[in-house]
């Protein structure tokens, strides 16, 4: 039971991190000046 609870918490935390990262990515894309965008996209492409 404890392991199941830990797994559920880990899943919830992972989902939260994913959604927060997505929001931050969108905010950065909206607020960064145009010359910065290609560098950010290049970094994102390499990591995934």
Sequence ranges of the domains in the chain: 2-47
Predicted pLDDT of residue 30: 87
Residue 4 has pLDDT above 60, yes or no: yes
Q: Is the pTM of this model over 0.75?
A: no
Predicted pLDDT of residue 48: 47
Predicted pLDDT of residue 31: 84
Kindly report, residue by residue over 10-43, the tens digit of the pLDDT. Answer: 999 999 999 999 999 999 888 876 655 555 555 5
Rounded to whole angstroms, how far apart are CA atoms 33 and 19? 23
C-alpha distances out from residue 45 to 9, 40, 41, Å: 28, 9, 6
């Amino acid at each position: 039971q404890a392991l199941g609870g830990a797994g559920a918490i880990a899943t919830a935390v992972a989902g939260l991190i994913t959604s927060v990262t997505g929001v931050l990515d969108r905010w950065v894309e909206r607020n960064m000046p145009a010359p910065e965008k290609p560098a950010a996209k290049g970094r994102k492409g390499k990591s995934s």
